Each structure stands twice: as structure tokens, then as C-alpha cells.
Chains A and B, each alone.
Chain A
């Protein structure tokens, strides 16, 4: 099967799941349910694309296919920001009640953190990227510990409110925020798209990439910032949701078996739309909210992944 055909099949699947989600049991309710469902699907597609894109890019620049951008500690920072707000200002504060403020505050905090982080680390000159990841991981753990500490001290009623921020949820996305996030995410991706072919070269390793005229170190920094912005915006929109990036990225590598990032990334984006929209539909209609989206995605994705590995070992073994 050619890769173009595979992409078209995925596109068809994605459209099918979107249609299923939007129209299933709609019963002609075009005034209330229809626009709400459209907004949810839009939010899911956006976050799916953002996570898939940033995970593939992140894995290319780190030359590692089992890392996700969450090792940079952005999710942990998001949780800490939310916990801080609840702890110091309370659930009645304007930063909680007004979701616009909450969104902007979280996005800005994460982006500023990421930029400061890279500024400090890259100023030191040529450090290997694993040093950066290590610092990110330690910082993330540190922030996580502070967060847990504050959550233990917090008033139990406040904690209930905070808990809703701890898990990704598409159930009450705000349409203004979705549009704002859409603009941010699309602009970032359009900006990053120019570097798509350079990413192909980057996967050949630093020396070969520089030999072929790719400004490697500059590009790594730029790509890290792009990935951070995407993660920050999508996390602030729906909550910590990087878990499925790993699975869709690796499924895309296995499924397409190419070095071309334009195909890998498009494929991963379509897969995550299928996974999120399809998974959410199952959560709502089949399990009637008795399980969570991450369980379904990880289960289905994991099973397919094992199948791919078995198939591969049979063909080579």
C-alpha cells in the first residue's frame, strides 16, 4: 500500500469518526446539541494535532522514540500553576471563575517557563540535549512534589475543584477558548511547517545534518520552543493530555515506515484525531462515562502496537 493511500484511508477514518460523533443519536437537535458537539470535536482535533505534532518533532530532535515532551516538565508546571491558584486565591478567585483568565494565565506561565528554561540552558553554549532533558525531568519532579505538598495541605472542598483540572476533559470546553487556542496552534504549526524537510535531515544525526547545511543547534532550539507552545496551549485548553502522543507517534512510524516528516506528522495527527474522537465517542456512548479516554486509547493503541511488533518479528525472524 502506498503512503498516499494510507493517508487517505486515515483521513476517511477520521472524517467517519467525526461524523459518527457529531450525528449519532442527534435526533434532529440542531440548535443545542449540534453546535456543542461540533465545538467538542474541534477541541479534540486541535489538541490531537498539537500533541501529535509536538511529540514527533520532539522525538526527532532528541533522537529518541520513547520520549514525550512531558519530560520537559510542562504538565507538571501546569498542575503546579493550578494548585497555586487554588491554594493561594481559592476556588472563588477570578483566576478560577473566569476561565479566560485561567487559560491565559496557564499558557503564559508555561511559555515563559519554557523560554526562560531554554535561555538559561542554551546560553551555556553547546550542551548535549540530554542534559536539557535531565534538567527538565528533575524540574518536573520538583514541581510535582511541591504540587503534591500543597494538595495535601489544601482544604478538601477546594481540592475537589482542583481535581477537575487534573485530568484531561473535553466535556466543558469553552468555545471562545477553543478559537483562541486554534489560532495559536495553527500559527505555530504553519510557522514550523517550513522546517519539515530539515527535520528529515535532522534524523540522520547532528554531524550529517550540519554537513548537509542544516543549522542544527538553532533548529533544535526553535523546534523545542514550537513543541512547548503547542503543549502549553493544548494543556491549558483541556488539561494534561500528552499521554497519547507516544502511541500515535510510534504507530505512525510503524504504519508509514518512511523518514519523511510531512507524512509521519500528518499521519500522527490523523491518528490522534481518530483516537480522541473515536475514544471519546466510546466513553460517552458505550461506557456511558464509566471509564476514561486515556484507558481506551492506551488499550486500543497498545493492542495494535503489539500486533505490529509481532508482525514485524515474524517477517524478520
Chain B
């Protein structure tokens, strides 16, 4: 399991994340929410060892993530950031095959190929798999990157705003797939979200950050109510129930 213990990160003199402690519950979807600049992405980057914390530690199975061997860690935890700039031209299948790198070191065996096939199927990309990434729409490209992470076959999947720039249909499609990964394959998903309604409808736990600190942390139904949201966003947000989903109607509050 992943435990975050009192981590702090400064960018220059400005603290971006301060004394944050969070336990990630296994086999669930946990969303990080909060206003812009709250430190959600920075926190996620430290959990996934893309950034080092200045103080405090992140533990995976009780061992500091910085002490894990790079490729062992990559078999347990995967991270997908928002922008994925690349210098090379790849097809979807080539990209997804890179997901097997921690296991195969670049030489794919039959099992790796099978995992790649599965991941491509899972994201419904069979017809597109030989297309180049730069020929795809934003939603297709995002699905290709998620397929890579699925091929990586890790217990923990961390995603930094995967719904950015996606329309409603593709957003729902991706959230449903994440839900399926958790329900069917027992993965643990940690996701940074901007749209609180997606967080409300799809996540099991919510960690709310504000000014680099955790302000709320708990099961979704404890967080999605007007009082808690007021504390997080400084807005009066009415919450309405619709078919068992709590929807925050923040558009004119």
C-alpha cells in the first residue's frame, strides 16, 4: 500500500505542498481535487517519484519510494502526466509496447505481446493500432497513453488530469474504463481531477487540497456536500441528488 507521510515541497521559497499525509486505499479510486495551484499534481508527482519531496517520505509497502529500484517500482506503480511531449514518431502499438519495458527491457516476448494486445483491446484501439500518434485526436491519443499504462500492468495507476481537453463522451468513456480496472482487475487508481462531478460520481475516496494542505480526506459522500465544498473552494455549491449520484451545481453560485 502507498502511504504519504508529512511531505513538503518547496518551489524556490514558496511551499507548494506542506505537511501532507495521506494513505491510499487499495482497490479503490481516490481523487485529488482542489482549486488551481493547490498542489494536487505536485503531490501526485512525489507519490510517483517524478519529484523528490524536500521533507517527509512516500512509502510503498513500507519502503521509501526513493529506495526502490527504478524498474521494480515501475512494475508496481505507473504514472501518466498531463502533457506527453515526444521527440519521436510512434504508432499506437509501439507506444503501448513501451508499457512492457520494465519487464522486457525492450525485447518483447510472447507474454508481453499478449499484454499489449489486451491493453489495446481494453481501450478499443484495435482498428487504430498502426496509426501514428500525431494523426490522432486528443481523445484517441489519451486512450493510447492509458493503454500503455494498462500494458504496464501495475497495481497502482496514477493519472494527472486525464480528462483535460476531452469532450463529455470521451471523459465518461475514460472514467468508465478506470472504474472497470478497479472493479474487474482490482487495480488502485489515483487521479487528479478538476471536475468535481466526475470525482463525485466515479471515485470511492476524495482527498481535497487547498494551498498545499489537505483540507478534507475521506469517502466521497463525506466530501461532496455544501459545507465541505465551501471549505475547499470558497463557493456556495448546492448539491443535488440524481439517480443516486451527487451532482454539484456550481455554475451560478
Contact = CB atoms under 8 A, between A and B. Distances in A.
Contacts of A211: 48, 50, 74, 78-80, 149, 152
Interface stretch (A145-153, A161-169, A171-179, A200-208): A200-208
B88 A201 contact: no
Interface stretch (A89-97, A115-123, A212-220, A273-281): A212-220
Interface in A210-238: 210-215
Interface string B76-111: 001111001111111000100011011001110000
Contact of A200 (B48, B102, B106, B149): B106
Contact of B89 (A208, A212, A257): A257
A214 B71 CA distance: 7
B98 A204 contact: yes
A204 B88 contact: yes
A214 B72 CA distance: 10
Nearest to B49: A210
Given A197-B105, A207-B79, A214 B84 contact: no
B86 A203 contact: yes
A204 B73 contact: no
Contact of A213 (B50, B75, B89, B94): B75
Interface string A123-141: 0001000000000000000
Given A201-B101, A213-B101, A213-B102, A259 B88 contact: yes
A204 B79 contact: no
Contacts of B102: 212-213
Contacts of B81: 207-208
Contacts of A200: 98, 106
B66 to A, nearest CB: 11
Contacts of B152: 211-212
Nearest to A216: B70
B88 A197 contact: no
Given A203-B88, A205-B84, A207-B79, A214 B98 contact: no
B220 to A, nearest CB: 27
Nearest to A214: B70
Contact of A207 (B73, B84, B88, B89): B84
- Interface residue range, chain B: 20 to 34
A241 B78 CA distance: 43
B50 A207 contact: yes
A211 B152 CA distance: 9
Contacts of A285: none
Residue of A60, A64, A208 with highest tally of chain B CB at under 10 A: A208
B87 A203 contact: yes
A65 interface: yes
Interface string A277-291: 000000000000000
A201 B50 contact: no
B98 A212 contact: yes
A204 B94 CA distance: 11
A63 interface: yes
A213 B98 contact: no
A203 B94 CA distance: 13
A64 B86 CA distance: 11
Contacts of A196: 106
Given A207-B84, A208-B84, A210-B50, A201 B70 contact: no
B98 A205 contact: no
Nearest to B78: A211
B68 to A, nearest CB: 10
A317 B94 CA distance: 25
A206 to B, nearest CB: 8
Contacts of B90: 259
A212 B50 contact: no
Contacts of B88: 203-204, 259
Interface string A5-40: 000000000000000000000000000000000000
A208 B87 CA distance: 12
B87 A65 contact: yes
Contacts of B72: 213
A124 B80 CA distance: 27
A197 B71 CA distance: 13
Given A200-B106, A207-B79, A259-B94, A213 B84 contact: no
Given A210-B49, A259-B94, A205 B85 contact: yes
Interface in B167-222: none
Interface of A: 60, 63-65, 126, 196-197, 200-201, 203-208, 210-215, 257, 259
Given A207-B50, A213-B74, 8 more contacts: A63-B87, A197-B106, A203-B88, A205-B86, A206-B50, A212-B102, A214-B101, A259-B90
Interface of B: 48-50, 52, 70-75, 78-81, 84-90, 94, 98-99, 101-102, 105-107, 149, 152
25 contacts: A201-B98, A203-B87, A203-B88, A204-B98, A205-B85, A205-B87, A207-B50, A208-B81, A210-B48, A210-B49, A210-B50, A211-B48, A211-B50, A211-B74, A211-B79, A211-B149, A212-B74, A212-B98, A212-B102, A212-B152, A213-B70, A213-B72, A214-B101, A215-B70, A259-B89
Lowest 7 A-B CB distances belong to which pairs?
A: A213-B74, A197-B106, A213-B71, A213-B102, A259-B88, A212-B101, A207-B81
